[in-house]
Chains A and B, each alone.
Chain A
């Protein structure tokens, strides 16, 4: 089984201001180690060096969008079993169901409250962990 605590987060978001505030909030409030990437391809190329515990992935990005990045991640050895959480303003039930279908572990709605983001991510992680504990695997 994996190490149960969440430490390293790869955050993929093209908006530089959101990137800055989320990275800072996750580091200062959550105490996480965060690598922020501005695009899906940057995330893919830096995945190996950073080896995150979890990926936070913006859905709407230019070039490779969230779902495309997720699909590409799943093709790499390091990204195959990695929990990926989408961040999006599209959180209708059927949209969330579709993201899960693609393999997203969960969805965090946008806009997010920077002060509450760490707690949200931690609770996603905790519920994932509960699933791992009983089944020994992510999905």
Chain B
């Protein structure tokens, strides 16, 4: 084996490290295939081959190489039943093709530097979109525009390969030209089959030349979740896709108060498996502390607590101003219809009686958490862009700086401002300005890491907190985003609209307080404007 490359932490160094290791790993997989063939696919050799493919799916995802993960998964799935002795070995041509796919994936450039999202393959795979559009101009254009919003788009000019494409790589959404829909019963069956698929059916969005009620009704009947008339407003389409397919910005937080550890553990286990962040408090006396530290979107309270009833705790919860809207679910050992009613009277949203079906638990909790969070975010966010408002952004900056000081790590703070915003408002109208600002907000939310915090600073200024990030990194990320954004053409009120932004970056601890940091970023932004706009300046 060749000497291992140097490893450093951080998203880009991790990718570099793995990129350097890839040739060795692919060679290992090929050797395993050779061995399997040489031994006539003995069990041990088949298992090794399968295991190496499996390892690559995991490593690809961990190091931020989704294409490797996908290609390795195809190979792994083919080899799994072979390793288990359930099916005969695949023929050489099949394996060669799958390995070629893996090599192709390895040659793909590493994810563009401006997509700094770390290895969260779950989130990545959810953002794949199949676009079925026959128009030779609109199709590629729309695909390109959506790519800039961070979607992985596969374009089909006709729907005949749709089923095969869905099969080989299930998308999270299908964008379908309604013209293809007319008179195709087979499709209706195919789509209703899709909707029963265990992976969660892709969302269907129709694109149409027509906006009349009849066409819209037909789309609804066909299971369409959204309907866009052409010319398509890409910003609004991306917004809708984000709503339909996007995972929450951060996992929902649940607090479980239950003295019985086993039951608490069962509950927490099921919820964690569904991606929630769960805090378990087995001592009801510490309820308030647990609330303060876990900041839950939803609270699960046992009705059978020794010291006080869950209902009393619910009352305590709702007395706190900051958690007056937090949903509460009660857990009970047994419950009649009457109990259920009284639980609801006492401020609970639902009574869950044991044994609780994990799927029901997950659905009940996620649904409440989603509602709880959207209520909370309505209160703390800016109504135009749905970004955290000034006060909320400032609060988060204070918290990040406190954490950074403790951990002795840098934090970059950026202020962005749309160029010629006043001129756009004056010449194209305020609605156009608002539209651009919303698009920029959405663009940033989708392209930055989940840990980065984007907020509306005021006016057309947007503030971004980059935790654990130094100035040059933040500057280069923003510069890539600036470049992509400037190429984004949006349709607004029947005309094309595009814009650029300038940005200023300042870094903690060079600027040691929140106020100085914001001021520093403001000065850098001014430098960027003075330097000719459409640029990023770091102090």
Residues of A within 8 A of B (CB): 14-15, 17-18, 20-21, 24-25, 28-29, 60, 62, 89, 91-97, 100, 106-107, 109-115, 123, 127, 130-131, 134-135
User: A100 to B265, Cβ gap below 8 A?
Assistant: yes
Q: Which residue of B lies closest to A137 (CB)?
A: B261
User: What are the residues of chain A within 8 A of B51 when measuring CB–CB?
Assistant: 14, 60, 62
Of the residues B14, B266, B280, contact of A127 by C-beta under 8 Å: B280
Contact B358 A115 (CB under 8 A): no
Task: Using A62-B47, A115-B10, A135-B282 as known contacts, list a sample of 13 further A-B pairs with CB atoms less than 8 Å apart, ordered by residue number in A.
Answer: A15-B58, A20-B7, A21-B62, A28-B9, A93-B274, A100-B265, A106-B272, A110-B61, A111-B58, A111-B119, A114-B62, A115-B9, A127-B279
User: Closest B-chain residue to A94, C-beta based?
Assistant: B358
- Nearest 3 interchain pairs by C-beta: A111-B61, A93-B358, A111-B62
Residue of B47, B48, B119, B362 with most chain A CB atoms under a 10 A cut-off: B119
Within residues 18 to 64 of chain B, which ones have a CB less than 8 A from any CB in chain A? Answer: 18, 21, 25, 47-48, 51, 54-55, 57-59, 61-63
In chain A, what residue has the closest Cβ to B357?
A: A93
Q: Which residue of A lies closest to B266 (CB)?
A: A97
How many chain B residues sit at the interface, stated as a range, is 35 or more
Which single residue of chain A is at the shortest CB-CB distance from B4? Answer: A20
Q: Could you tell me if B273 and A93 are in contact, using CB atoms closer than 8 angstroms?
A: yes
Nearest residue (CB) in B for A124 is B272
Q: How far is the CA of A123 from the CA of B268 in the complex (A)?
A: 13
Contact B63 A21 (CB under 8 A): yes
Tell me, in angstroms, the Cα distance from A109 to B59 when the chains sit together: 13
Expressed in whole angstroms, the minimum distance between the Cβ of A58 and any Cβ of chain B is 9
The answer to whether B273 touches A115, judged by C-beta atoms less than 8 angstroms apart, is: no
- Interface residue B17 (Cβ < 8 Å from any Cβ of A): yes
Tell me whether A93 and B362 are in contact (CB under 8 A): yes
B468 touches A (CB below 8 Å) = yes
Q: How far does the Cβ of B48 sit from chain A's closest Cβ, in whole Å?
A: 7
Main secondary structure of the interface of A (DSSP, over half): helix
Contact partner, B273, options A28, A29, A91, Cβ 8 Å: A91
**Known: A113-B119, A131-B282. Is A60-B17 also a contact (CB below 8 A)?**
no
Cβ of B433 within 8 Å of any chain A Cβ, yes or no, is: no
Asked whether B59 lies within 8 Å of A24 as measured between CB atoms, the reply is: no
> Closest chain B residue to A24 by CB distance?
B7
Q: Point out the residues of chain B lying under 8 angstroms from A113, CB to CB.
A: 62, 118-120
B121 contacts A by Cβ under 8 Å? yes
Expressed in whole angstroms, the minimum distance between the Cβ of A38 and any Cβ of chain B is 12
Residue of A17, A28, A62, A96 touching B59 (CB-CB under 8 A): A17
Q: Are B48 and A62 in contact (CB under 8 A)?
A: yes
B261, A135: Cβ atoms closer than 8 Å = yes
User: Are B118 and A130 in contact (CB-based, < 8 A)?
Assistant: no
| Cβ contacts A to B, 25 pairs, < 8 Å | A14-B51, A17-B18, A17-B25, A18-B62, A21-B62, A24-B9, A89-B58, A93-B362, A95-B273, A96-B269, A96-B270, A96-B272, A96-B273, A97-B269, A107-B269, A109-B273, A110-B58, A110-B61, A111-B61, A113-B62, A114-B119, A115-B9, A127-B278, A130-B282, A135-B282
Q: Which of B7, B272, B277, B281 contacts A107 (CB under 8 A)?
A: B272
B14 x A93 contact (CB < 8 A): no
Contacting pair B272 A21 (CB below 8 A): no
Contacts A15-B55, A113-B118; A134 near B61 (Cβ below 8 A): no
Q: A62 contacts which chain B residues (CB < 8 A)?
A: 47-48, 51
User: A20 to chain B: which residues have CB within 8 Å?
Assistant: 4, 7
* A21 in contact with B7 (CB, 8 Å): yes
Chain A residues near B63: list those with CB within 8 A: 17, 21
Say yes or no for B249: interface residue by CB 8 A criterion: no
Q: Across the two chains, which residue of chain A brings its CB closest to B44?
A: A62
Residues of A within 8 A of B7 (CB): 20-21, 24
Is the beta-carbon distance between B55 and A14 smaller than 8 angstroms? yes
Beta-carbon contacts of B338-377 to A below 8 Å, as 1s and 0s?
0000000000000000000011001000000000000000
| B283 is an interface residue with CB less than 8 A from chain A | yes
- The reply to whether A134 and B283 form a contact with Cβ atoms under 8 Å apart is yes
Interface centre among A17, A112, A114, A123 (most CB of B within 10 A): A17
A10 to chain B, nearest CB (A): 19
